[in-house]
Amino acid sequence: MLADMKSDDTIKSETKADQIHDRIKQSILKGEIAPGEKLVISQLAERFKTSIIPVREALGRLEAEELITVVPHTGACVKQIDLNTLREMYPLRGVLEGYAVRLASERLTTTDFHGLTRIIQQMDDAIADRDFVLMGELNTEFHMMIYRASGNQTLIRLIEDFLQKTFLARLVFRFKPFRARESNREHRRIVDALEKGKTAAAERLIIRQSEKTLELLNRHLESPDEGDEIE
């Protein structure tokens, strides 16, 4: 919810629009502002202690990034992703991510593997604390560490763009808490496969994770009140 945004929201820098954009964007990606929630320019200007001009500029950038929808003379709201969009985008994500794993498998270093193992432990801690927003952030960090090792900057940008456009996926652990432990067990298997040079196995695990996320988001969007407890 908009009210859940951090209280220290006073903008002090000259680049007000940049900071407002970044604050709102992070709140959307973390689920602090829910899909469909309205963004009232006057309220945002008051919260950030600024005029409406940088707020309008920030919202314009968020609209260009397809995170919000702006309706003239009505206002803005956080974009909701429909099932058809998810069903179209996830297979494409899987293709890109699978290719990135293939490229990365020959480039991952000992330092990279230590970093991946550290993130897995941090995810274990987040699960224990039932901090599923953090779990979603760490999950993205884990995957992007692998994809960046591919060295293909165009591919990395494409994946990052897909991740942003399917930002709802970061919240899957809030919607379906039971998925968190299962997902992290898969992360361990991915790292193990990559360390042993089993690239095809790692690629299959990555793609299957994407498929499972789509299945769970389908279930959530079709039956949002359905509850699932963590194992």
Backbone dihedral region of 224: left (phi > 0), alpha (psi from -120 to 50 degrees) or beta?
alpha
Does 138 lie in the same domain as 55? no
Q: Which of 11-15, 46-50, 123-127, 145-149 has the lowest mean pLDDT?
A: 11-15
Which pair of structure tokens corresponds to residue 168?
């709802």
Q: pTM for the whole thing?
A: 0.78
Last residue of a domain, one of 23, 46, 78: 78
**Segment 40-99, tens digit of pLDDT:** 999 999 999 999 999 999 999 999 988 899 887 778 999 877 778 888 888 899 899 999
Cα angle 150, 155, 161; round to 5: 125
Does 35 lie in the same domain as 109? no
- Higher model confidence: residue 197 or residue 35? 197
Instruction: Enumerate the β-bridge partners of residue 78.
Output: 68
Q: For residue 204, what is the domain's CATH number?
A: 1.20.120.530
- Report how many domains make up the chain: 2
Domain range for residue 148? 83-222
Does 118 lie in the same domain as 57? no
Does 100 lie in the same domain as 64? no
How far is residue 9 CA from its own chain's centroid?
22
Last residue of a domain, one of 78, 111, 140: 78
Contact 187, 120 (CB under 8 A): yes
